[in-house]
Amino acid sequence: MVRAIKLLLPLLAVLLVAAASRAQSSESHPITYELIINGETFLIQANRAQRLESREKPGVNYDVALRIAPTQRMKLDTVEFDYDRFFRVEDDRDARQRTARLSHELGFSLLITDLGAPLESRQQEETLNILTRSVTGMFRRMEVVGLDVSKPHTRKFGQATALGLIVRYRDDKDRGHVCLLYVICGPKFAATCVAQYLDDDSEDALPLIKKTLDSFRALP
Protein backbone atom coordinates (compact mmCIF):
# COMPACT_ATOMS: atom_id res chain seq x y z
CA MET A 1 0.00 0.00 0.00
CA VAL A 2 2.87 2.39 0.72
CA ARG A 3 4.21 1.81 -2.78
CA ALA A 4 0.73 2.33 -4.21
CA ILE A 5 0.43 5.77 -2.66
CA LYS A 6 3.93 6.75 -3.75
CA LEU A 7 2.83 6.14 -7.31
CA LEU A 8 0.34 8.97 -6.85
CA LEU A 9 2.91 11.62 -6.05
CA PRO A 10 3.77 12.84 -9.57
CA LEU A 11 0.07 13.15 -10.42
CA LEU A 12 -0.69 14.85 -7.12
CA ALA A 13 1.97 17.42 -7.84
CA VAL A 14 0.44 18.18 -11.23
CA LEU A 15 -3.06 18.46 -9.74
CA LEU A 16 -2.15 20.66 -6.80
CA VAL A 17 0.08 23.06 -8.66
CA ALA A 18 -2.42 23.43 -11.48
CA ALA A 19 -5.30 24.03 -9.09
CA ALA A 20 -3.30 26.51 -7.04
CA SER A 21 -2.43 28.58 -10.10
CA ARG A 22 -5.93 28.11 -11.53
CA ALA A 23 -4.70 28.31 -15.08
CA GLN A 24 -7.54 28.48 -17.56
CA SER A 25 -7.50 26.55 -20.83
CA SER A 26 -9.96 26.23 -23.66
CA GLU A 27 -10.96 22.93 -25.20
CA SER A 28 -12.99 22.31 -28.33
CA HIS A 29 -15.61 19.57 -28.41
CA PRO A 30 -16.96 17.68 -31.43
CA ILE A 31 -20.07 19.29 -32.86
CA THR A 32 -20.64 17.11 -35.93
CA TYR A 33 -21.59 13.45 -35.55
CA GLU A 34 -22.46 10.52 -37.78
CA LEU A 35 -25.90 9.00 -37.17
CA ILE A 36 -26.75 5.64 -38.73
CA ILE A 37 -30.42 4.79 -39.21
CA ASN A 38 -31.26 1.42 -40.80
CA GLY A 39 -27.79 1.32 -42.35
CA GLU A 40 -27.97 4.83 -43.80
CA THR A 41 -25.48 7.44 -42.55
CA PHE A 42 -26.34 11.05 -41.81
CA LEU A 43 -24.22 13.96 -40.55
CA ILE A 44 -25.90 15.89 -37.75
CA GLN A 45 -24.99 18.76 -35.44
CA ALA A 46 -24.96 18.42 -31.66
CA ASN A 47 -27.54 20.14 -29.45
CA ARG A 48 -30.06 20.92 -32.16
CA ALA A 49 -33.15 19.24 -33.60
CA GLN A 50 -33.01 18.32 -37.27
CA ARG A 51 -35.17 16.73 -39.94
CA LEU A 52 -33.23 14.24 -42.06
CA GLU A 53 -34.38 13.22 -45.52
CA SER A 54 -33.48 9.70 -46.58
CA ARG A 55 -31.72 9.44 -49.93
CA GLU A 56 -32.26 5.70 -50.05
CA LYS A 57 -35.99 5.92 -49.28
CA PRO A 58 -37.45 8.95 -51.07
CA GLY A 59 -40.19 10.65 -49.11
CA VAL A 60 -39.00 9.19 -45.76
CA ASN A 61 -37.90 11.73 -43.16
CA TYR A 62 -36.49 11.34 -39.64
CA ASP A 63 -36.86 13.93 -36.89
CA VAL A 64 -33.78 13.57 -34.68
CA ALA A 65 -31.83 15.42 -32.02
CA LEU A 66 -28.50 14.69 -30.36
CA ARG A 67 -27.71 16.20 -26.97
CA ILE A 68 -24.69 15.60 -24.76
CA ALA A 69 -25.95 14.13 -21.48
CA PRO A 70 -25.35 16.45 -18.49
CA THR A 71 -23.90 13.53 -16.50
CA GLN A 72 -21.19 11.28 -17.90
CA ARG A 73 -19.84 7.96 -16.57
CA MET A 74 -16.21 6.96 -16.06
CA LYS A 75 -14.98 3.38 -15.60
CA LEU A 76 -11.60 2.51 -14.10
CA ASP A 77 -10.47 -1.03 -13.32
CA THR A 78 -12.72 -1.94 -10.38
CA VAL A 79 -14.75 1.21 -9.77
CA GLU A 80 -16.96 3.53 -11.81
CA PHE A 81 -18.45 6.95 -11.07
CA ASP A 82 -20.46 9.77 -12.62
CA TYR A 83 -19.25 13.29 -13.31
CA ASP A 84 -20.53 16.60 -14.66
CA ARG A 85 -20.13 16.97 -18.44
CA PHE A 86 -18.09 20.16 -18.01
CA PHE A 87 -15.20 18.22 -16.48
CA ARG A 88 -12.26 17.54 -18.77
CA VAL A 89 -11.08 13.98 -18.07
CA GLU A 90 -7.55 12.59 -18.36
CA ASP A 91 -7.10 8.84 -17.86
CA ASP A 92 -3.52 7.62 -17.41
CA ARG A 93 -4.56 3.95 -17.96
CA ASP A 94 -1.77 2.86 -15.62
CA ALA A 95 -1.90 -0.92 -15.21
CA ARG A 96 -0.67 -0.66 -11.59
CA GLN A 97 -2.80 2.18 -10.19
CA ARG A 98 -5.16 3.60 -12.77
CA THR A 99 -5.85 7.28 -12.17
CA ALA A 100 -8.30 9.76 -13.64
CA ARG A 101 -7.89 13.50 -13.35
CA LEU A 102 -11.03 15.60 -13.75
CA SER A 103 -10.61 19.34 -14.31
CA HIS A 104 -13.78 21.44 -14.31
CA GLU A 105 -14.08 24.54 -16.45
CA LEU A 106 -14.87 26.52 -13.26
CA GLY A 107 -11.34 25.83 -12.00
CA PHE A 108 -11.60 22.96 -9.49
CA SER A 109 -10.18 19.45 -9.85
CA LEU A 110 -10.55 15.84 -8.77
CA LEU A 111 -7.85 13.19 -8.79
CA ILE A 112 -9.29 9.67 -8.45
CA THR A 113 -7.14 6.56 -8.20
CA ASP A 114 -8.41 2.99 -8.30
CA LEU A 115 -6.66 1.01 -5.55
CA GLY A 116 -8.28 -2.29 -6.50
CA ALA A 117 -9.32 -4.65 -3.72
CA PRO A 118 -11.25 -3.39 -0.66
CA LEU A 119 -9.26 -2.19 2.36
CA GLU A 120 -9.63 -3.10 6.00
CA SER A 121 -10.14 -0.19 8.40
CA ARG A 122 -6.47 -0.22 9.45
CA GLN A 123 -5.34 -0.14 5.81
CA GLN A 124 -7.78 2.68 5.13
CA GLU A 125 -6.28 4.72 7.97
CA GLU A 126 -2.72 3.99 6.80
CA THR A 127 -3.57 5.01 3.25
CA LEU A 128 -5.09 8.30 4.41
CA ASN A 129 -2.04 9.02 6.60
CA ILE A 130 0.35 8.48 3.69
CA LEU A 131 -1.79 10.56 1.36
CA THR A 132 -2.01 13.37 3.92
CA ARG A 133 1.75 13.48 4.49
CA SER A 134 2.35 13.58 0.74
CA VAL A 135 -0.14 16.36 0.07
CA THR A 136 0.83 18.56 3.03
CA GLY A 137 4.51 18.06 2.17
CA MET A 138 3.84 19.43 -1.31
CA PHE A 139 1.99 22.42 0.10
CA ARG A 140 4.88 23.20 2.45
CA ARG A 141 7.30 23.09 -0.46
CA MET A 142 4.98 25.53 -2.24
CA GLU A 143 5.36 27.78 0.84
CA VAL A 144 1.63 28.27 1.30
CA VAL A 145 0.30 30.30 4.24
CA GLY A 146 -1.84 29.10 7.15
CA LEU A 147 -1.72 25.39 6.37
CA ASP A 148 -4.38 23.69 8.50
CA VAL A 149 -5.28 19.98 8.57
CA SER A 150 -8.53 18.78 10.14
CA LYS A 151 -8.98 15.62 12.15
CA PRO A 152 -10.02 12.53 10.16
CA HIS A 153 -13.74 11.89 9.82
CA THR A 154 -15.91 9.20 8.25
CA ARG A 155 -18.53 9.85 5.59
CA LYS A 156 -21.06 7.82 3.67
CA PHE A 157 -21.07 8.41 -0.06
CA GLY A 158 -23.84 6.40 -1.64
CA GLN A 159 -23.12 2.77 -0.77
CA ALA A 160 -19.46 3.42 0.03
CA THR A 161 -17.74 4.44 3.25
CA ALA A 162 -15.01 7.08 3.19
CA LEU A 163 -12.33 8.13 5.65
CA GLY A 164 -11.10 11.62 4.97
CA LEU A 165 -9.98 15.02 6.13
CA ILE A 166 -9.82 18.64 4.98
CA VAL A 167 -6.69 20.66 4.26
CA ARG A 168 -6.91 24.46 4.05
CA TYR A 169 -4.33 27.09 3.14
CA ARG A 170 -3.89 30.52 1.55
CA ASP A 171 -1.75 31.27 -1.47
CA ASP A 172 0.51 34.23 -2.21
CA LYS A 173 -2.50 36.19 -3.49
CA ASP A 174 -4.30 35.61 -0.17
CA ARG A 175 -6.86 33.31 -1.79
CA GLY A 176 -8.21 30.53 0.40
CA HIS A 177 -7.89 26.97 -0.94
CA VAL A 178 -9.60 23.78 0.23
CA CYS A 179 -8.28 20.28 -0.43
CA LEU A 180 -10.43 17.24 0.41
CA LEU A 181 -8.69 13.89 0.87
CA TYR A 182 -10.76 10.71 0.93
CA VAL A 183 -10.09 6.98 0.93
CA ILE A 184 -13.32 5.45 -0.30
CA CYS A 185 -14.15 1.78 0.21
CA GLY A 186 -16.99 -0.35 -1.05
CA PRO A 187 -17.61 -4.10 -0.83
CA LYS A 188 -15.55 -4.78 -3.96
CA PHE A 189 -13.32 -1.74 -4.47
CA ALA A 190 -11.14 0.94 -2.87
CA ALA A 191 -10.16 4.31 -4.29
CA THR A 192 -8.65 7.61 -3.25
CA CYS A 193 -10.00 11.01 -4.18
CA VAL A 194 -8.19 14.33 -3.87
CA ALA A 195 -10.42 17.33 -4.60
CA GLN A 196 -9.21 20.91 -4.62
CA TYR A 197 -11.10 24.18 -5.08
CA LEU A 198 -10.96 27.82 -4.09
CA ASP A 199 -12.85 28.62 -0.90
CA ASP A 200 -14.83 31.28 -2.78
CA ASP A 201 -15.99 28.63 -5.27
CA SER A 202 -17.36 26.20 -2.69
CA GLU A 203 -21.02 26.80 -3.62
CA ASP A 204 -20.31 25.75 -7.20
CA ALA A 205 -17.72 23.05 -6.54
CA LEU A 206 -19.09 21.10 -3.57
CA PRO A 207 -22.39 19.92 -5.13
CA LEU A 208 -20.57 18.56 -8.18
CA ILE A 209 -17.84 16.94 -6.09
CA LYS A 210 -20.44 15.30 -3.83
CA LYS A 211 -22.38 14.11 -6.87
CA THR A 212 -19.31 12.26 -8.07
CA LEU A 213 -18.42 10.84 -4.66
CA ASP A 214 -21.99 9.62 -4.09
CA SER A 215 -21.87 7.74 -7.39
CA PHE A 216 -18.85 5.54 -6.59
CA ARG A 217 -19.70 1.88 -7.14
CA ALA A 218 -17.97 -1.36 -8.08
CA LEU A 219 -17.96 -2.39 -11.70
CA PRO A 220 -20.66 -4.98 -12.40
Same domain, 37 and 145: no
- pLDDT at residue 106 in the model: 92
| pLDDT tens-digit series, residues 2-18 | 444 444 544 455 445 44
Q: Is 27 domain-assigned?
A: no
Gyration radius (Cα) of the chain, Å: 21
Same domain, 43 and 117: no
Residue of 30, 54, 29 whose CA lies nearest to 41: 54
Q: Is 117 domain-assigned?
A: yes
Same domain, 123 and 109: yes
Query: In whole numbers, what is the pLDDT of the chain averaged over residues?
Result: 87
Give the count of domains, the chain: 2
Domain with 11 in it: 2-22+68-218
pTM, 2 dp? 0.81
Task: Provide DSSP, 41-58.
Answer: EEEEETTEEEEEE-SSST
CATH of the domain at 93: 3.40.1000.10
Q: Hey, CA dihedral for 149, 152, 158, 159, is it positive or negative? A: positive
- pLDDT at residue 11 in the model: 46
Residue 149 DSSP label:
E
Same domain, 105 and 124: yes
| pLDDT tens-digit series, residues 85-121 | 999 999 988 777 899 999 999 999 999 999 988 999 9
Decide: 96 and 7 in contact? Cβ < 8 Å: yes
pLDDT at residue 179 tops 50: yes
Q: Is 45 domain-assigned?
A: yes
Same domain, 201 and 191: yes
Same domain, 54 and 73: no
Neighbours of 141 (CB within 10 A): 9
d(CA 102, CA 60): 43
Same domain, 213 and 124: yes
Q: How far is CA 144 from CA 16, 184, 185, in A?
A: 12, 27, 31
